[in-house]
Amino acid sequence: MTDTRQVGQIAGRYLDLQGLRQVAVGIGLLFLFAYEMVGPLTSAEIRAAGSGRVLLGLGAVVVGFAIAVAAAARISAWYRRNYGSVERTVRQRRLGMLIAGAGVLAFLVPFNIETTTMNSGHTLPVNLMDFTLALWIVGYWFYIGRSFRHYLVIAGIGFILGIASIAGIPPSTFVWHLREATLYAAFASIVGGLIDHRILTNALLRVDTRVGVGS
């Protein structure tokens, strides 16, 4: 691929490659992971802890995510000031919402399966959340562009974690599965975001005018 085509592809994914926003989301996920490490997660733990402790912990998570959202908004403004802005087409907005919705489902669907299994007194022998998140990252790689291969590496790590859970290497418990999947999602957001940011800024370092989108 020529430099011109590379810049064109990057310009076409200008908003998606504003990776520092992803980093902010990843930090919010780290707040959630911190709660999962110390807070009650199972029904028995929640009953033993009492509503006050649960609400306090969830409040801390909400504050953490609020800070992450505020940081993402500031980061978006920083990108506009330094590299310009674009307007998404209707098709791009719809596709972006579809991708985001699929990412949420990739976490929530296996999470609900895990909790249903746990409430029935059993535990799944595999961390489904690792696999579904990794599959979503592969789908995101198709969406953002085949040249952004770091997402394949990140997805590969998720598949390895899932295979390790099948092999029985980590503990086969709901709590472990949830913590591992949350930490993996945070890692994917932060590492992927930092690499995206570097790709974008290296390509558009001298762009002083508004960036056009043709994808």
Cα 171 to chain centroid distance, Å, stands at 24
CA distance 94 to 84: 22
Band the pLDDT of 4: cuts 50, 70, 90. Answer: low
Residue 7: predicted pLDDT: 57
For the stretch 55-88, pLDDT in tens is 877 888 888 888 988 999 999 999 988 888 777 7
For the stretch 176-211, pLDDT in tens is 999 999 999 999 999 999 999 999 988 876 444 444
The values of phi and psi at residue 152, to 5°, are -65, -40
Q: Let me know how long the chain is.
A: 215
For the stretch 118-132, pLDDT in tens is 878 788 889 999 999
Band the pLDDT of 151: cuts 50, 70, 90. Answer: very high
CB atoms within 10 A of CB 181: 28
User: In this structure, what DSSP letter does residue 210 have?
Assistant: P
CA distance 61 to 143: 30
Instruction: Look at residue 6 and tell me whether its pLDDT is greater than 70.
Output: no
CB < 8 Å & 24+ apart, contacts of 169-175: 170/127, 172/123, 172/124, 172/125, 173/123, 174/41, 174/42, 174/114, 174/115, 174/117, 174/118, 174/123, 174/124, 175/36, 175/41, 175/42
